[in-house]
Amino acid sequence: MNNIFRKPIAFLSILSFILTSCIETIPPEALVFNKDTLANRQLQTRKFDTKSEKELLTAASGVLQDLGFNLDESAPGVGVLVGSKNRDATDSGQVVAAIALAVLFGSNMPIDKEQKIRASLITRPSEVGKGHLLRVTFQRIVWNTQGVVSKIEPINEPLIYQEFFEKLSKSVFLEAQKI
Amino acid sequence: MQNILNFKKLFLVLSIFFLASCETTSSRLFDTSTNKSAVELRSIQARAFDTKDQNKTLRTIIATLQDLSFVIDKADMELGSVSATKLDSSNQGFGSRGYALRMTVSARPVGNRTVIRANAQFNITPVVEPKPYQDFFVALEKAMFLTAHQVE
């Protein structure tokens, strides 16, 4: 008699263990500085010898608009500017792979279709000397052809940041010259 | 007679269904499943810093969040609050599409101190474990050059 009761309990215990182990929890490294922290800070930050923070923020919002971003949030009191844009996310490599799979196996592989790119642009007065520091960070969410989120990731390619700061330097110059 | 019995059964099933669904919405809204009282949550999520400079505190919070790979969503100087989202796909194993960690941090002056309160959600789950908040305040301490005190 005891055995009859023991089995379902054992089964339930195993089932609840499996179910609870499936629940995702916050990764232990999520809120800790890591080896890339300093490198990313350097990659994403530049110092500008601007007289006022507002001047720098105005120049930066101009660049975000040049790049097709729409402004979502601005809080000049703490040097915050946030923008986003929705764009195509089709990757030619994925398209070729999807066609190859369809031809070979007749399967319909979903491919990346759309993405939302977000940018936050933060300025603060430099602690050493004159001028202001500006740090920009990008991230993106990608949806595939089935409307399912396929990627959520930060954008950390050095070339993207270099190009962004080149454009910003020009814009800051133009803003300073009131052109 | 049979009809009445069937009706009773149906009524019972429906009422259980409605009661269960009400319970679920309410428990999700108030996060009762976390089994943490407001006092417990505050002791986990809030720390006091010996500064009265709210603007500098907010700017330091924003810089720390950026260091932790967050992208800022909103900031309000008047209320002293900042919200940010971290999207990450590293160390998530094969087939994972990454995670979204959303965090709101507020700074409120109390006497000669500023009380900083943070709350986070990991995808669709509230973060109530002490460890992530300890990590966050350790990172913030370094950036503020100040010690975080437990709020009484």
Residue A49: CATH number of its domain: 3.30.310.80
Contacts of B69 in chain A (CB under 8 A): 40, 137, 154
- Whether the CB-CB separation of B97 and B108 falls below 8 Å is answered with no
**A3 to chain B, closest Cα gap in Å:** 32
Binding-site residues on chain B for chain A (CB distance < 8 A)? 55, 58-59, 62-63, 66-77, 82, 84-89, 91-92, 97-101, 120, 122-123, 125, 127, 129, 131-133, 135-136, 138-139, 142
B23: which 2 tokens? 């319970």
Find residues 24-83 of chain A whose CB sits inside 8 Å of chain B: 24-33, 37, 40-41, 44, 72-73, 75, 77-80, 82
The per-residue pLDDT for A17 is 55
Contacts of A120 in chain B (CB under 8 A): 66, 71-73, 84
**Position A4 pLDDT exceeds 60:** no
Rounded alpha-carbon distances, angstroms, from residue A39 to A6, A31, A150, B70, B151 = 56, 17, 27, 15, 34
Find the Cα–Cα–Cα–Cα dihedral A69, A75, A76, A82, rounded to 10°.
-20
> Which H/E stretch holds residue A169?
helix A158-176
**Position B108 pLDDT exceeds 90:** yes
Per-residue confidence band for B45, with pLDDT thresholds at 50, 70 and 90: very high
- Whether the CB-CB separation of A90 and A111 falls below 8 Å is answered with yes
Higher model confidence: residue A62 or residue B90? A62
Specify which residues A118 forms β-bridges with: A84, A139
Average pLDDT for A113-119: 95
**Position A20 pLDDT exceeds 70:** no
A73: which 2 tokens? 């949030």
Torsion sign over Cα B12, B14, B20, B23: negative
**What CATH number labels B46-150?**
3.30.530.50
CA distance A80 to B73: 9
Per-residue confidence band for A40, with pLDDT thresholds at 50, 70 and 90: very high
CA distance B45 to A46: 32
Of B77, B125, B127, the CB nearest to A77: B77
Per-residue pLDDT tens digits for B113-147: 999 999 999 999 999 999 999 999 999 999 998 88
Of A29, A30, A41, the CB nearest to B67: A41
B147: left (phi over 0), alpha (psi -120 to 50) or beta: beta
Of B82, B89, B138, the CB nearest to A151: B89
**Position B79 pLDDT exceeds 70:** yes
Closest CA to A155 of A173, A169, A137: A137
Per-residue confidence band for A147, with pLDDT thresholds at 50, 70 and 90: very high
**B29 to chain A, closest Cα gap in Å:** 19
Q: Is residue A138 part of a domain?
A: yes
Q: Does A119 touch chain B (CB under 8 A)?
A: yes
Domain residues for A115? Answer: 34-176
Q: In chain A, which residue's Cα lies nearest the Cα of B99?
A: A152
Per-residue pLDDT tens digits for B26-44: 788 888 878 888 888 999 9
Of B71, B120, B131, the CB nearest to A137: B71
